[in-house]
A and B are shown apart, each in its own frame.
Chain A
Amino acid sequence: MSRLYTQDHEWVDVAGDVATVGITDYAQGQLGDVVFVDLPEAGRAVTKGGEAAVVESVKAASDVYAPVSGTVTEANPALTDDPALVNMAPEGDGWFFKLTLSDASELDGLMDKAAYDAFIASL
């Protein structure tokens, strides 16, 4: 399944009932230098649109929302030692967390890449 995007600049990859979540390249560019990511612990239930993580740049803390509801299975351990991965590889090695989907139908409202690109071009 191809990557989907939210208007809050999160992305989500879905493989079976497991989703991987991160923030977009546009989002990291807006944040600037990321110095810390406060990630959810495995087992935590998150709801679509609810706070799931906090990304800290030099100047401010920003909430990251869950694109879909589910239970967190893993946070990216690499971000603990190297939060700048979010700047260097936001849509790759800088992923935030994985979760098991509780309601796959929630994916229906998300944007594909073409729609997201058009969305950020309009900002």
Chain B
Amino acid sequence: MADDADLNILPLDGLHRRLGARMVAFAGYAMPIQYDGIIAEHLWTRESAGLFDVSHMGQLLVEGDGAADWLESLAPGDFKALQPHRVRYSLLLADDGGILDDLMVTNTGRSFYLVVNGATKAADIAHMQARLPAGISLHHMDDHALLALQGPAAVTVMSRFDLTPETIDQPAFADLKFMAGARWLWNGVPLGITRSGYTGEDGYEISVPAAHAEALAEALLAHAEVKPIGLGARDSLRLEAGLPLYGHDLSPEITPVEADLSFAISKRRKAEGGFPGAARVLDQLFNGAPRKRVGLAVAGRMPAREGASVWKGERQIGVLTSGGFAPSLGAPIAMAMIETDMAADGTAVEIDVRGKRIAATVVPMPFKQKNYVREGEKK
């Protein structure tokens, strides 16, 4: 790749190249887009387990008295009620309620561990630093890599690892539930593991000191169930799962209600407000928003891509924010931001693809049933 010199290199760069990855520029990093091929990698993740390097994402630690209150001034989650070792999906909001980023927040018991998007992490950190009160610290864990092990075999594979709880106040690894996390020692290496992901499958995200990232990745790949998966399949997997991608389906011009992410506004925050843009966001929540993120099932086989216009008769009603081919469905699917009046499930619309009108139908998401193993479920 000619522009390698301008790109940041991630801890697993050498491993990716040895595994035959095709490397591309993404979020300022050289990253693997694919190894064997996107469709094969996508299907492997759905039936076995895929290993993703997501070390470009930002890992942040927020610590200090009042950290939960401060986070509640930035995002609409109920962080004061977030129990130790529990994980919540949340949204960093601008003062007008527009989405600056989406993120995962884990209460470690001593601090809050945040995972933010790679392309937005510098802006997120600047946004948070500018609002940081005395007594609270914000630490960027840029000496850590982040791996994701996703798929139905992920639990079996991880159960073979000898993981010792770092502290006695945390769950045993075997008891780690969906959207929970804690820290374990693996051969003396501290790992922060959450049971979460971005594929619609059961699995884990593992924070590991950069110096040990390659050893951990090799140890995971040594299991026959695990293959390396690139960013291409990560995108097709998350699209099938109905999960939005920041910079595409989410942006500062889009509010949580428009993004159909109202679940990320906790019950207490809906009643109390007090988060950025609360007046506008809560007005949309209770009285309706002009537009909404929806899923579209696209007729035929031709994929419709981000940016394509969505029509009802002679009137444009929205635009595609993501779109592509769904390998597990064998058909094209898309997400679009469209007028709320046209957003009901079953509404027939058309997409303009290179001047041709393609039929599409508003459908509920996820497109592909999620395989999460939630608390209380046996699987």
Contact = CB atoms under 8 A, between A and B. Distances in A.
Interface of A: 32-33, 35-36, 38, 54, 56-61, 83
Contacts of A83: 301
B306 to A, nearest CB: 10
B325 interface: yes
Contacts of B39: 33, 35, 58
Nearest to A59: B232
B199 interface: no
B327 interface: yes
Contacts of A60: 305
Contacts of A58: 38-39, 42, 232, 236, 324-325, 327
Given A56-B302, A56-B303, A36 B354 contact: no
Contacts, number: 42
A42 B42 CA distance: 36
Contact of A54 (B38, B332, B354): B354
B325 A56 contact: yes
B34 interface: yes
A1 B135 CA distance: 79
B37 A33 contact: yes
A59 B327 CA distance: 11
Contact of B38 (A36, A59, A61): A59
Given A32-B38, A58-B236, 10 more contacts: A32-B232, A35-B39, A35-B301, A36-B302, A36-B332, A56-B303, A58-B324, A58-B325, A59-B33, A61-B305
B258 interface: no
Given A54-B354, A58-B325, A59-B33, A33 B303 contact: no
A38 B232 contact: no
> Lowest 7 CB-CB distances: which A-B pairs, in order?
A35-B325, A58-B38, A33-B39, A36-B302, A36-B301, A56-B303, A59-B232
B235 interface: yes
B49 to A, nearest CB: 20
Contacts of A56: 302-303, 325
A87 to B, nearest CB: 8
Contacts of B235: 59
Nearest to B34: A32
A36 B236 CA distance: 16
B34 A36 contact: no
Contacts of B33: 59
B39 to A, nearest CB: 4
A119 B324 CA distance: 31
Nearest to B305: A61
Contacts of A38: 302, 354
A32 B41 CA distance: 12
A36 B305 CA distance: 13
12 contacts: A32-B37, A33-B37, A33-B39, A36-B301, A38-B354, A56-B303, A58-B39, A58-B236, A59-B38, A59-B324, A60-B305, A61-B303
Contacts of B38: 32-33, 57-59
Interface in B218-243: 232, 235-236
Nearest to A61: B305
Contacts of A32: 34, 37-38, 232
A58 B34 CA distance: 11
Interface string B127-145: 0000000000000000000
Nearest to A83: B301
Contacts of A54: 354
Interface string B339-359: 000000000000000100000
Nearest to A38: B302
A119 B374 CA distance: 54
A27 B301 CA distance: 21
A59 B322 CA distance: 11
